Amino acid sequence: MRKLNLLALVCLIVMLQGCTITYYELRDEITPKVASGKGVGCDFNYSLTMDDYRRFRTIGNQPNPRAAEDLDKYIKATQAVFTQKGCKAIKIEEKDKAEFKIDVLRAPQLSALPQEWLTGLTVGAIPSWGTRYGEYEYTFENKLLKKNHKFLVDRPAFNHIIVFPIFWLSFLWPDEIELYKKALTNFLENS
């Protein structure tokens, strides 16, 4: 009976920590231009570099142990967008020789925001909300067109015991790869 009570307590603690709704917001999108009727060619070589680490308040920045897997996801997403747009893009490793440069900075903050501590200490009775700014940065540079732009991704979060029945939606919403595709598409269409 005692083990069952301990297991129930551990399950309750884990579930109560999930009383957060969070999602990603793409900032600094390029305003769509009026179509000029002429298409811009997109036959080029490109490079994709990624700086990937996790930010903690207590122990500082730590490298992502799954960085190689995540880089592969970005390469596949890039190829998917280029294919969808009808581009003949070839990935090269030498960044200096690339005609189209992509720099990805992934630096999610994994520690609680100061206002979230009160929510945690009161087991969700006191609400809090906050935004982690600039967790992801996508910088695109088209040397052929002499255009570049940086997109930033923020992550707002809302914490309260009331969101407990729907906190699982947070597992469906935050998808940085979809935002990356949206940013790349926005840059290709409007630069």
Total domains present in the chain:
1
Percent of the chain with pLDDT over 90: 38
Size of the chain, expressed as the number of residues it contains: 191
Least confident residue range of 68-72, 79-83, 122-126, 135-139: 122-126
Global confidence as pTM: 0.80
What pLDDT is recorded for position 3? 75
d(C-alpha 90, C-alpha 46), whole Å? 6
Mean pLDDT on 125-143: 91
Q: Do the Cβ atoms of 45 and 90 come closer than 8 Å?
A: yes
Rounded (10°) CA dihedral 177, 183, 186, 188: -80
Range of the domain at 125: 2-32+40-190
